[in-house]
Amino acid sequence: MLRSVDMQQVLLHSTTLEKIQQVQQLHADVVKKHFAQQLQEETEQKKKEVQEAKKSQEARIREEERGRQQKKGYTSDASTGEEEGDTQKTAALEETDKGTILDFTV
């Protein structure tokens, strides 16, 4: 059987236990919010990285198209029979294109 003094001690400790429980619950909420914020920042960073990669790929494609257009221009000039120097230009262009395009069949 409980004595009245024991009951008073339990009631006094109940407020401190209540505060401890609130702090534990708040801590869990703070951890969840922090994790959600960190996850959101990581996804935003990944989106930026993907966009930057797309931009660099587009620049590479533009460069390749320019090279092809220049190469076509040089070959059309050579077919008209202008100069022997054009063949040197086409050879130089072909050297720069070597190793950029790979075509594998397995």
DSSP single-letter state for residue 84: S
Q: Is 69 inside a domain boundary?
A: yes
User: What value, to the nearest 5°, has the Cα angle with vertex 87 and ends 62 and 76?
Assistant: 60
Tell me the average pLDDT of the chain.
Answer: 76
SS3 73: helix
Domain that holds residue 57: 41-76
- Domain total of the chain: 1
Q: Is 102 inside a domain boundary?
A: no
pTM: 0.37
Sign of CA dihedral 69, 71, 77, 82: positive
- Specify the pLDDT at position 30: 94
pLDDT (mean) for 73-101: 60
Q: Is 88 inside a domain boundary?
A: no
Q: Is 4 inside a domain boundary?
A: no
- Specify the pLDDT at position 14: 87
Q: What is the pLDDT of residues 9-50, one digit of tens each?
A: 888 888 889 999 999 999 999 999 999 999 999 999 888 876
Q: Is 81 inside a domain boundary?
A: no
